[in-house]
Structure 1
C-alpha cells in the first residue's frame, strides 16, 4: 500500500466468504449493490475470470441506462481475491476512463464475525489518487460496501 497512490477501505461483513463472493460474482446480486442507491445498476457483462469483462450501466430514473464501468478482470482467486482495472476495457482495448484510471483489488478473509472485506484502489500517480479521493472515494465505495454487506448479510440469515 502506497499512501500517495492508493485508497483503501475495509469492513467486516457478517456473512461467510462464500456468500460475499457470490454477491460479487452473480450478476443479479451485483446489480443490487454495485451502484449507490437510489441509482440503479444493470450488469451488461460479468465474466469473473482473468481477462473477463466487467461492464455495468447505471440509471438515475430507471429508464435510461448509461455506461458506468467498463473494465477487465486481471486476477480472480476464488473466494479470496478479485482484481480488475478500468485502464483496459471489457474488450481488452486500452481505455482512458473517467474520472480516473485505477486498479481495484478486493480481498476476502475469514473473520470470527464473518468476512474481513478489504479494498485497495491503486492509481498511476498522486494527482489521480487525490482526484479520486476528492470525488468521494470514501463515500462512494463506502456506500456500495455497506450495500454489499446488506445483500450478503440478508442472504446469510436465510
Structure 2
C-alpha cells in the first residue's frame, strides 16, 4: 500500500468468507449492495473471472438507469481476492473514465468473528487519489461495504 496513491477500507464482516464471496461474485447479490441506497443498481454484464466484464448501471428511481461502471476483472482468486479496473473497459479497451481511474483490490480472509474484508483502491498519481478522496471515497465505499456486510450477515 502506498499512502500517496492508495485509499483503503477495512472491516470485519460477521459472516463466513464463502457468504461474502458469493455477495461479490453472484450478479443478483452484487446488485443489492453495490451502489449506495436508495440508488438502485442493475448489472449489465458480470463475468467474475480474470478478464471478465463488470458493467453496472444505476438509477435514482428504478426506472431510468445511467452508466455507473464499465470495468474488467483482472484477478479473481476463489474466496480470497478480486481485482478490477475501470482503466480497461469491458471490451478490453484502455479508457480514461471520469471522475477517476482506479484499480480496486478486494481481499477476504478468515477472522474469528467472520471475514476480514479489505479494499485497496490504487490510483496512478497523488492528484487522482486526492480527487477520489474529495469525491467521497470513504463515504461511498464505506456505505456499500456496510450494505455488503448487512446482506452477508443476514444470509449467514
TM range (shorter): over 0.9
Residue by residue over 1:28-78, the C-alpha shift from the partner in whole angstroms, topping out at 9 and shown as x without a partner, is 100100000000000001101110000000001111001000000001100
Aligned residue-pair number: 156
Alignment of 1:61 onto 2:68 = no
Name the structure 1 match of 2:152.
Answer: 152
Q: Which runs of 4+ in 1 moved over 4 A?
A: none
Name the structure 1 match of 2:11.
Answer: 11
Residue by residue over 1:3-43, the C-alpha shift from the partner in whole angstroms, topping out at 9 and shown as x without a partner, is 00000000000000000000001111001000000000000
Name the structure 2 match of 1:120.
Answer: 120
Name the structure 1 match of 2:47.
Answer: 47
> TM-score of the superposition, structure 1-length normalised?
0.98
Deviation at 1:98, TM superposition (A): 1.1
Task: Please give the secondary structure, in 2, of the residue aligned with 1:119.
Answer: strand
Alignment of 1:5-154 (within 5 A): 5-154=5-154
Task: Give the distance between the partners of 2:148 and 2:98, measured in 1 at CA.
Answer: 23
Task: Please give the secondary structure, in 1, of the residue aligned with 2:18.
Answer: helix
Task: Please give the secondary structure, in 2, of the residue aligned with 1:124.
Answer: coil
- RMSD of aligned residue pairs (Cα, Å): 0.4
> TM-score of the superposition, structure 2-length normalised?
0.99
Task: Give the distance between the partners of 1:130 and 1:25, measured in 2 at CA.
Answer: 29
Structure 2: where are the runs of 5+ without partners?
none
Structure 1: where are the runs of 5+ without partners?
none
Residue by residue over 1:97-147, the C-alpha shift from the partner in whole angstroms, topping out at 9 and shown as x without a partner, is 111000000000000000000000000000000000000000000000000
Task: Give the distance between the partners of 2:151 and 2:145, measured in 1 at CA.
Answer: 10
Task: Give the distance between the partners of 1:95 and 1:66, measured in 2 at CA.
Answer: 18
Task: Please give the secondary structure, in 2, of the residue aligned with 1:75.
Answer: strand
